[in-house]
Structure 1
Amino acid sequence: MDEFDRKIIAHIQEFGRSSYAEIGNAAGLSVSAVNERLKKLERQGVIAGWAARIDPNAVGCRILAFVHVMVERPEHEPAFLELVRQEAAIQECHHVTGDWSYLLKVRVADMAALERLLAQRIKALPGIPRTQTVIALSSAKEAAALPLPAASE
């Protein structure tokens, strides 16, 4: 990945709906060069997909919670990870160090939905002896854009 690719990625992270001409202006490239580089970045998996960023409150996902999950034994992980993949309310799942096995980022409509997810879906799985939930009161920052290293790094 060169400096042109970094400029393209930085631009589309902030302005995803830009035309190829606008991206080209930001990166100092022609429309055809932008087209080719975007295709290459997708083939390489650098660009993993395209999506709109939606305001969670606008679509009724008013509760943001972070859930630590303890998975008792390795043989219980496949069922847990399958639930994670299937459950739309679970936005992120991270295998973590420390006292817990996983950290989930969850968005739901209300406390009743959070309780159902925890009690009827997650804790109902075998090998999940406990969870710990932290509810976000507000969010000062949420960013989808990644910090891009400079070419020299």
Structure 2
Amino acid sequence: MDDIDLKIIGLLALDAKRSLADIGGSVGLSPSSVNERIRRLTASGAIRQFTVDLDPAAMGVQTLVFVWIALREDADEAAFRDYAARHPLILECHHVTGAWAYLVKLRVGAPPEIEGFLAELKAHRYLGRSETVIALSSPVPGPFVPKES
């Protein structure tokens, strides 16, 4: 991967619908050369997917929530990971160091949905303890990509 590849990736990260001609004009290559580089970057796994950036409020999930989770001692961790991967509210799940086992990122329409989510974790016997943080604003937001329910 060279500097031109990095520039192409940066341009696509800002706008995945950008035309090959526009990208080529920015990096000094023909559209066909840009297309070949994108094909190569995709084949190598450097580019994993092309997505859209949605407005969470327009999708009805304006509340961004982070939940620190410590699993119960008797919890099936593999089952929890599978549950997290499939849960429609969970956008990200990270196994972390420190006092907590996992950090989960959610998008919900309103705070009462958080209580329902925690109740689900308890019902599945995963949740030992948790701490919930609600984001007030996001000066540097990441893309919002919902999962299928």
TM-score (norm 1): 0.86
Aligned residue number for residue 71 of structure 1: 71
Q: Which digits, 9 at most, give the CA deviation of each residue in 1:120-146, with x for residues without a partner?
A: 2x22223421111111122222135xx
Contact 1:79/1:125 (8 A) holds in 2: no
Q: How many residues align?
A: 143
SS of alignment partner, residue 5 of structure 1: helix
Name the amino acid aligned to 1:142.
Answer: P
Q: Give the Å deviation of 1:112.
A: 2.1
Name the amino acid aligned to 1:29.
Answer: L
Q: Percent identity?
A: 41
Q: Which moved more, 1:67-76 or 1:45-54?
A: 67-76
Give structure 1 stretches of 5+ with no counterpart.
145-153
Q: Give the Å deviation of 1:59.
A: 1.0
TM-score (norm 2): 0.89
Q: Give the Å deviation of 1:36.
A: 0.9
Q: Which moved more, 1:111-120 or 1:3-12?
A: 111-120
Aligned residue number for residue 86 of structure 1: 86
Matches within 5 A, 1:95-134: 95-120=95-120, 122-134=121-133
Name the amino acid aligned to 1:32.
Answer: S
Q: Give the Å deviation of 1:105.
A: 0.8
Q: Which digits, 9 at most, give the CA deviation of each residue in 1:64-107, with x for residues without a partner?
A: 11001112459621111111111121111111110001101110
Contact 1:70/1:102 (8 A) holds in 2: yes
- How far apart, CA to CA, are the structure 2 residues paired with 1:109 and 1:130? 23
Name the amino acid aligned to 2:111.
Answer: M
RMSD value over aligned CA atoms?
1.6
SS of alignment partner, residue 37 of structure 1: helix
Q: Which digits, 9 at most, give the CA deviation of each residue in 1:8-41, with x for residues without a partner?
A: 0011111221111111111211111111111111
- How far apart, CA to CA, are the structure 1 residues paired with 2:75 and 2:39? 40
Task: Assess, with a 3 A threshold, how the Cα gap between structure 1 residues 8 and 107 changes in structure 2: closer, same or farther.
Answer: same
